[in-house]
Amino acid sequence: MLTPTPLAPVSVLGLGLMGTALATAMLKAGHPTTVWNRTPSKTGPLTAQGAQPADTPAEAAKASPLVITCLTTYDDVTEVLRPLTGTLAGRTLVNVTNGTPAQARAMAARAEEHGIAYVDGGIMAIPQMIATPAAYVLYSGDESAYEEHRPTLAAFGGTRWTGADPGLAALYDLSLLTGMYGLIAGVVQSYALIGSERIPAREFAPLLHDWLNAMTDAMVPNTAEALDTDHHLTTVSSLAANQAAFPNLLDTFSGQGVRPDLFEPMRHLLDRAITEGHAHDGLSRLVKLLADR
Protein backbone atom coordinates (compact mmCIF):
# COMPACT_ATOMS: atom_id res chain seq x y z
CA MET A 1 0.00 0.00 0.00
CA LEU A 2 1.41 3.36 -1.07
CA THR A 3 1.88 6.02 1.58
CA PRO A 4 0.17 9.30 0.58
CA THR A 5 2.56 12.10 -0.28
CA PRO A 6 2.35 14.74 2.45
CA LEU A 7 1.03 18.12 1.35
CA ALA A 8 3.36 21.11 1.30
CA PRO A 9 3.65 23.08 4.54
CA VAL A 10 2.51 26.71 4.61
CA SER A 11 3.06 29.63 6.97
CA VAL A 12 0.49 32.40 7.32
CA LEU A 13 1.51 35.72 8.89
CA GLY A 14 -1.41 37.91 9.91
CA LEU A 15 -4.61 36.53 11.42
CA GLY A 16 -7.25 39.17 10.91
CA LEU A 17 -10.56 38.03 9.46
CA MET A 18 -9.03 37.29 6.05
CA GLY A 19 -5.77 35.80 7.33
CA THR A 20 -7.71 33.49 9.62
CA ALA A 21 -9.90 32.40 6.70
CA LEU A 22 -6.78 31.67 4.60
CA ALA A 23 -5.12 29.64 7.35
CA THR A 24 -8.35 27.74 7.97
CA ALA A 25 -8.57 26.89 4.26
CA MET A 26 -5.04 25.51 4.32
CA LEU A 27 -5.78 23.37 7.35
CA LYS A 28 -8.98 22.01 5.82
CA ALA A 29 -7.08 21.16 2.64
CA GLY A 30 -4.61 19.15 4.71
CA HIS A 31 -1.55 21.40 4.59
CA PRO A 32 0.66 21.57 7.69
CA THR A 33 0.10 25.20 8.64
CA THR A 34 2.15 27.48 10.87
CA VAL A 35 0.53 30.73 11.97
CA TRP A 36 1.74 33.97 13.53
CA ASN A 37 -0.01 37.13 14.64
CA ARG A 38 1.03 40.20 16.63
CA THR A 39 -1.74 39.35 19.10
CA PRO A 40 -0.88 35.74 20.04
CA SER A 41 -4.39 34.97 21.31
CA LYS A 42 -5.65 35.00 17.71
CA THR A 43 -3.72 31.80 17.03
CA GLY A 44 -5.84 29.88 19.57
CA PRO A 45 -8.79 28.87 17.35
CA LEU A 46 -6.41 27.81 14.56
CA THR A 47 -4.22 25.86 16.96
CA ALA A 48 -7.35 23.99 18.02
CA GLN A 49 -7.79 22.99 14.38
CA GLY A 50 -4.23 21.69 14.14
CA ALA A 51 -2.17 24.75 13.23
CA GLN A 52 1.29 25.21 14.70
CA PRO A 53 1.58 28.62 16.44
CA ALA A 54 4.83 30.55 16.03
CA ASP A 55 6.11 32.95 18.65
CA THR A 56 7.86 35.16 16.09
CA PRO A 57 7.62 35.93 12.36
CA ALA A 58 11.07 34.38 11.94
CA GLU A 59 9.91 31.12 13.49
CA ALA A 60 6.91 31.08 11.17
CA ALA A 61 9.00 31.82 8.09
CA LYS A 62 11.48 29.04 8.87
CA ALA A 63 8.69 26.49 9.08
CA SER A 64 7.62 26.50 5.40
CA PRO A 65 8.90 27.04 1.88
CA LEU A 66 5.73 29.06 1.18
CA VAL A 67 5.10 32.12 3.37
CA ILE A 68 1.84 34.04 3.00
CA THR A 69 1.45 37.53 4.42
CA CYS A 70 -2.00 39.01 4.97
CA LEU A 71 -1.57 42.19 7.00
CA THR A 72 -3.36 45.52 7.06
CA THR A 73 -0.94 47.60 4.95
CA TYR A 74 2.28 47.24 2.98
CA ASP A 75 4.01 49.24 5.71
CA ASP A 76 3.04 46.47 8.12
CA VAL A 77 4.46 43.85 5.76
CA THR A 78 7.72 45.78 5.43
CA GLU A 79 8.00 46.19 9.20
CA VAL A 80 7.40 42.50 9.87
CA LEU A 81 9.59 41.15 7.08
CA ARG A 82 12.53 43.59 7.12
CA PRO A 83 14.46 41.52 9.74
CA LEU A 84 13.66 38.27 7.88
CA THR A 85 15.40 38.75 4.54
CA GLY A 86 17.99 36.11 5.34
CA THR A 87 15.36 33.68 6.59
CA LEU A 88 13.15 34.19 3.54
CA ALA A 89 15.98 33.75 1.01
CA GLY A 90 15.24 30.74 -1.16
CA ARG A 91 11.58 30.70 -0.15
CA THR A 92 8.46 31.99 -1.86
CA LEU A 93 6.65 34.97 -0.39
CA VAL A 94 3.03 35.41 -1.44
CA ASN A 95 1.76 38.77 -0.24
CA VAL A 96 -2.02 39.16 -0.39
CA THR A 97 -2.09 42.42 1.56
CA ASN A 98 -4.15 45.05 -0.25
CA GLY A 99 -1.96 47.72 -1.83
CA THR A 100 -1.08 49.63 -4.97
CA PRO A 101 0.76 48.44 -8.09
CA ALA A 102 3.71 50.68 -7.15
CA GLN A 103 3.92 49.13 -3.69
CA ALA A 104 3.84 45.63 -5.14
CA ARG A 105 6.62 46.44 -7.61
CA ALA A 106 8.79 47.97 -4.91
CA MET A 107 8.34 44.96 -2.65
CA ALA A 108 9.13 42.58 -5.50
CA ALA A 109 12.34 44.51 -6.20
CA ARG A 110 13.40 44.27 -2.55
CA ALA A 111 12.58 40.56 -2.50
CA GLU A 112 14.66 39.93 -5.63
CA GLU A 113 17.64 41.68 -4.03
CA HIS A 114 17.55 39.13 -1.22
CA GLY A 115 16.87 35.99 -3.27
CA ILE A 116 13.20 35.76 -2.31
CA ALA A 117 10.69 34.61 -4.92
CA TYR A 118 7.86 37.15 -4.76
CA VAL A 119 4.24 36.70 -5.82
CA ASP A 120 1.68 39.43 -5.24
CA GLY A 121 -1.96 38.53 -4.75
CA GLY A 122 -5.32 40.26 -4.86
CA ILE A 123 -8.13 38.41 -3.07
CA MET A 124 -11.48 38.78 -4.80
CA ALA A 125 -13.62 37.49 -1.96
CA ILE A 126 -14.74 38.26 1.56
CA PRO A 127 -13.48 35.95 4.32
CA GLN A 128 -16.66 33.87 4.33
CA MET A 129 -16.19 33.08 0.62
CA ILE A 130 -12.66 31.67 0.94
CA ALA A 131 -12.40 28.01 -0.13
CA THR A 132 -15.73 28.19 -1.98
CA PRO A 133 -16.23 28.12 -5.77
CA ALA A 134 -17.13 31.82 -5.68
CA ALA A 135 -13.68 32.91 -4.43
CA TYR A 136 -10.62 33.57 -6.54
CA VAL A 137 -7.25 35.24 -6.09
CA LEU A 138 -5.34 37.24 -8.69
CA TYR A 139 -1.58 36.64 -8.82
CA SER A 140 1.41 38.31 -10.50
CA GLY A 141 5.18 38.36 -10.17
CA ASP A 142 7.49 35.33 -10.20
CA GLU A 143 5.67 32.95 -12.52
CA SER A 144 7.79 29.88 -11.80
CA ALA A 145 7.19 30.29 -8.05
CA TYR A 146 3.49 30.76 -8.72
CA GLU A 147 3.31 27.60 -10.83
CA GLU A 148 5.22 25.63 -8.21
CA HIS A 149 2.81 26.60 -5.46
CA ARG A 150 -0.41 26.93 -7.43
CA PRO A 151 -1.78 23.57 -6.20
CA THR A 152 -1.34 24.80 -2.63
CA LEU A 153 -2.80 28.24 -3.35
CA ALA A 154 -5.85 26.58 -4.89
CA ALA A 155 -7.02 25.88 -1.32
CA PHE A 156 -8.26 29.49 -1.24
CA GLY A 157 -10.38 29.18 -4.40
CA GLY A 158 -9.71 29.90 -8.06
CA THR A 159 -6.22 31.02 -9.10
CA ARG A 160 -5.89 33.63 -11.85
CA TRP A 161 -2.49 34.62 -13.22
CA THR A 162 -2.30 38.23 -14.46
CA GLY A 163 1.34 38.48 -15.54
CA ALA A 164 5.01 38.74 -14.61
CA ASP A 165 4.75 42.43 -13.73
CA PRO A 166 4.32 42.24 -9.92
CA GLY A 167 1.96 45.22 -9.97
CA LEU A 168 -0.66 43.64 -12.21
CA ALA A 169 -2.52 41.68 -9.54
CA ALA A 170 -2.97 44.90 -7.55
CA LEU A 171 -4.03 46.78 -10.68
CA TYR A 172 -6.67 44.16 -11.52
CA ASP A 173 -7.75 44.05 -7.88
CA LEU A 174 -8.18 47.81 -7.56
CA SER A 175 -9.88 48.06 -10.96
CA LEU A 176 -12.45 45.48 -9.86
CA LEU A 177 -12.87 47.25 -6.53
CA THR A 178 -13.37 50.51 -8.43
CA GLY A 179 -16.34 48.95 -10.20
CA MET A 180 -17.65 47.71 -6.88
CA TYR A 181 -17.36 51.09 -5.16
CA GLY A 182 -19.04 52.78 -8.11
CA LEU A 183 -21.91 50.34 -7.73
CA ILE A 184 -22.02 50.96 -3.98
CA ALA A 185 -22.18 54.72 -4.62
CA GLY A 186 -25.18 54.25 -6.89
CA VAL A 187 -26.91 51.88 -4.50
CA VAL A 188 -26.54 54.07 -1.41
CA GLN A 189 -27.63 57.19 -3.33
CA SER A 190 -30.62 55.30 -4.70
CA TYR A 191 -31.72 54.14 -1.26
CA ALA A 192 -31.25 57.64 0.12
CA LEU A 193 -33.50 59.05 -2.62
CA ILE A 194 -36.28 56.47 -2.39
CA GLY A 195 -36.10 56.66 1.39
CA SER A 196 -36.70 60.41 1.31
CA GLU A 197 -40.42 59.54 1.00
CA ARG A 198 -40.20 56.81 3.64
CA ILE A 199 -40.61 54.04 1.06
CA PRO A 200 -39.28 50.85 2.72
CA ALA A 201 -35.89 49.78 1.38
CA ARG A 202 -37.02 46.14 1.27
CA GLU A 203 -39.93 47.11 -0.98
CA PHE A 204 -37.60 48.90 -3.39
CA ALA A 205 -34.76 46.34 -3.30
CA PRO A 206 -36.12 43.86 -5.90
CA LEU A 207 -36.61 46.64 -8.45
CA LEU A 208 -33.11 48.01 -7.86
CA HIS A 209 -31.55 44.54 -7.99
CA ASP A 210 -33.18 43.64 -11.31
CA TRP A 211 -32.44 47.03 -12.87
CA LEU A 212 -28.74 46.98 -11.95
CA ASN A 213 -28.35 43.42 -13.20
CA ALA A 214 -29.94 44.33 -16.54
CA MET A 215 -27.79 47.43 -16.94
CA THR A 216 -24.48 45.76 -16.02
CA ASP A 217 -25.22 42.74 -18.22
CA ALA A 218 -25.43 45.10 -21.18
CA MET A 219 -23.05 47.89 -20.25
CA VAL A 220 -19.97 45.94 -19.16
CA PRO A 221 -19.43 43.97 -22.40
CA ASN A 222 -20.70 46.76 -24.66
CA THR A 223 -18.32 49.29 -23.13
CA ALA A 224 -15.42 46.86 -23.50
CA GLU A 225 -16.24 46.39 -27.17
CA ALA A 226 -16.44 50.14 -27.76
CA LEU A 227 -13.10 50.73 -26.04
CA ASP A 228 -11.22 47.97 -27.84
CA THR A 229 -12.56 49.03 -31.25
CA ASP A 230 -12.37 52.76 -30.41
CA HIS A 231 -15.91 53.13 -31.73
CA HIS A 232 -17.98 55.27 -29.37
CA LEU A 233 -20.85 56.50 -31.54
CA THR A 234 -24.14 55.18 -30.19
CA THR A 235 -27.83 54.92 -31.01
CA VAL A 236 -28.67 53.83 -27.47
CA SER A 237 -27.97 56.70 -25.07
CA SER A 238 -25.79 59.58 -26.23
CA LEU A 239 -23.73 61.77 -23.98
CA ALA A 240 -25.88 64.72 -25.07
CA ALA A 241 -29.00 62.93 -23.83
CA ASN A 242 -27.34 62.02 -20.57
CA GLN A 243 -26.09 65.55 -20.02
CA ALA A 244 -29.56 66.94 -20.63
CA ALA A 245 -31.18 64.49 -18.21
CA PHE A 246 -28.59 64.59 -15.45
CA PRO A 247 -29.76 67.88 -13.86
CA ASN A 248 -33.08 66.15 -13.13
CA LEU A 249 -31.22 63.84 -10.77
CA LEU A 250 -29.37 66.65 -9.02
CA ASP A 251 -32.50 68.80 -8.75
CA THR A 252 -34.44 65.89 -7.30
CA PHE A 253 -31.70 65.17 -4.76
CA SER A 254 -31.89 68.79 -3.67
CA GLY A 255 -35.68 68.82 -3.57
CA GLN A 256 -35.82 65.62 -1.53
CA GLY A 257 -33.13 66.69 0.93
CA VAL A 258 -30.52 64.20 -0.32
CA ARG A 259 -26.90 65.30 -0.65
CA PRO A 260 -25.55 65.14 -4.23
CA ASP A 261 -21.89 64.61 -3.25
CA LEU A 262 -21.50 61.26 -5.00
CA PHE A 263 -23.00 62.46 -8.28
CA GLU A 264 -21.66 65.98 -8.77
CA PRO A 265 -18.42 64.72 -10.39
CA MET A 266 -20.44 62.86 -13.03
CA ARG A 267 -22.15 66.09 -14.07
CA HIS A 268 -18.78 67.81 -14.54
CA LEU A 269 -17.49 64.91 -16.65
CA LEU A 270 -20.59 64.96 -18.88
CA ASP A 271 -20.24 68.72 -19.34
CA ARG A 272 -16.60 68.26 -20.34
CA ALA A 273 -17.53 65.54 -22.84
CA ILE A 274 -19.98 67.84 -24.60
CA THR A 275 -17.57 70.80 -24.55
CA GLU A 276 -14.92 68.63 -26.21
CA GLY A 277 -17.28 67.63 -29.02
CA HIS A 278 -18.46 64.14 -28.05
CA ALA A 279 -22.20 64.80 -27.92
CA HIS A 280 -23.12 61.85 -30.16
CA ASP A 281 -20.86 59.31 -28.44
CA GLY A 282 -21.97 56.82 -25.84
CA LEU A 283 -20.91 56.60 -22.22
CA SER A 284 -17.81 54.62 -23.20
CA ARG A 285 -16.24 57.92 -24.29
CA LEU A 286 -16.04 58.90 -20.60
CA VAL A 287 -13.38 56.22 -20.09
CA LYS A 288 -11.18 58.00 -22.61
CA LEU A 289 -11.72 61.32 -20.86
CA LEU A 290 -10.76 59.86 -17.49
CA ALA A 291 -7.66 58.23 -19.00
CA ASP A 292 -6.59 61.44 -20.74
CA ARG A 293 -3.19 62.37 -19.31
Residue 3 scores a pLDDT above 60: no
Q: To the nearest whole percent, how much of the chain has pLDDT over 90?
A: 96
Instruction: Mark whether 22 and 159 lie in a shared domain.
Output: yes
**Residues 138, 221 within the same domain:** no
pLDDT computed for residue 32 by the predictor: 97
pLDDT score, position 38: 94
160 and 206 assigned to the same domain: no
Cα(293)–Cα(288) distance, integer angstroms: 10
Q: Are 271 and 250 in contact (CB under 8 A)?
A: no
Domain that holds residue 37: 10-171
As a whole number, mean pLDDT of residues 83-100 equals 97
CATH at 75: 3.40.50.720
Return d(Cα 293, Cα 286) in angstroms, integer. 13
For 8-50, the pLDDT digits (tens) are 999 999 999 999 999 999 999 999 999 999 999 999 999 999 9
Where residue 129 falls among pLDDT bands split at 50, 70, 90?
very high
Could you tell me if 159 and 219 lie in one domain?
A: no
- Regarding whether 141 and 222 lie in a shared domain, the answer is no
Q: Are residues 20 and 160 in the same domain?
A: yes
Q: Residue 236: pLDDT band by 50, 70, 90 thresholds?
A: confident
End-to-end alpha carbon distance in the chain: 65
Q: Is residue 179 part of a domain?
A: no
Which is nearest to 30 in space by CA: 55, 4, 54?
A: 4
CATH number for the domain that contains residue 211:
1.10.1040.10
Domain boundary pick from 136, 171, 206: 171
| pLDDT above 60 for 2 | no
Whether residue 51 is contained in a domain is answered as yes
Distance CA 57, CA 80 (A): 7
DSSP-derived secondary structure for 32-48: -EEEE-SSGGGGHHHHH
Same domain, 93 and 211: no
In terms of domains, do 159 and 22 share one?
A: yes
Kindly tell me if the per-residue pLDDT of 4 is higher than 70: no
Residue 177 inside a domain? The answer is: no
The pLDDT value recorded for residue 224 is: 96
> What domain count does the chain have?
2
Q: Please provide residue 133's backbone torsions phi and psi, each rounded to the nearest 5 degrees.
A: -60, -20
Q: What pLDDT was estimated at residue 161?
A: 98
pLDDT in tens, 163-194: 999 999 999 999 999 999 999 999 999 999 99
Do both 100 and 214 map to the same domain?
Answer: no
Residue 159 has pLDDT above 60, yes or no: yes
Same domain, 79 and 209: no
Q: What's the sign of the alpha-carbon dihedral 167, 144, 16, 138? A: positive
Percent of the chain beyond pLDDT 70? Answer: 98
Question: Are 23 and 150 members of one domain?
Answer: yes
Total number of residues shown for the chain: 293
Whether 167 and 22 map to the same domain: the answer is: yes
- Judge whether 1 lies within some domain: no
Please report whether residue 178 resides in a domain. no
Give Cβ neighbours of residue 267 (< 8 Å, ≥ 6 apart): 246, 247, 250
191 in any annotated domain: no
pTM confidence score: 0.92
Specify whether the CB–CB gap between 70 and 38 falls below 8 A: no
User: Cα 201 to the chain's mean position, in Å?
Assistant: 28
pLDDT (tens digit per residue) in 48-75: 999 999 999 999 999 999 999 999 999 9
Per-chain mean pLDDT for the chain: 96
Q: Which of 129, 154, 171 is the last residue of a domain?
A: 171
Asked which of 136, 156, 171 is the last residue of a domain, the reply is: 171
